[in-house]
Amino acid sequence: MAEYRINVIGASGSGTSTLGRSLASALAIPHFESDDYFHAPTDPPFQRQRSAEERYELICRDLRRDSNWVLSGGIDGWVPCPKLEFSCVVFLYVRTAIRVERLRLRERMRFGHRIEKGGDMHETHEEFIDWASRYDTGDIEGKTLARHEAYLMNQQCPVLKYRDAGSVSDITASVLKSICGLQNATEQSDERQPPTTRVFKS
């Protein structure tokens, strides 16, 4: 029986949430966001972290080993770190300029005048954009390219890497095709298959 416990990771603005929702819709399975477990609901959002015990308990409750789901966002660095036993990890890399443009548009659509000068979220917004823009250089806390690459190297499941690799629909189709091929190979073999990494570029 096919197993779908898919983790989609990448920098802010790379499209992990959009791809995660697309994959979940195509497979008719639930979609979850790691940020919803890491942060408690606030306005503005992402201002208060849940306790380590609370986020661990919540994510383990929802993302069970015996169910299918897609998780957008990483859990690398969580202590304790939940053992979610992914069947596949998808990594999205998008150039910084494109990501920042996406983020500014997204935040403007979400919060409107609140992120403009004089708005109650302006300072928070600019700090977020600055943090997101430094993902490649790695001189920040949290998500960086180097940390993601190290995380991917340690995975025991297939890893699919997409670098500036087309539309959401194209990547969705590619992921589904790759997963189907990998699972067919596993089912036809009596031995456990070694982890596979595939890189897709535009």
Kindly report, residue by residue over 82-99, the tens digit of the pLDDT.
999 999 999 999 999 999
pLDDT of 124 > 90? The answer is yes
Instruction: Output DSSP code: residue 115.
Output: G
Judge contact between 6 and 74, C-beta under 8 A: no
- Identify the DSSP state of 70: E
**Residue 62, both tokens:** 């929802």
Rounded to the nearest 10 degrees, how much is the dihedral formed by the CA atoms of 124, 35, 51, 29?
Answer: 160
Strands 69-72 and 5-10: parallel
Give the model's pLDDT for residue 46: 86
Inter-CA distances, 103 with 15, 64, 97, 99, 118, Å: 10, 31, 10, 6, 20
Query: What SS3 state is found at 154?
Result: coil
Does position 187 have pLDDT exceeding 60, yes or no?
no
Least confident of 33-37, 49-53, 73-77, 178-182: 178-182
pTM as predicted: 0.90
**Cα–Cα distance measured from residue 37 to residue 59, given in angstroms and rounded to the nearest whole number:** 6
Is the pLDDT score of 191 beyond 60? Answer: no
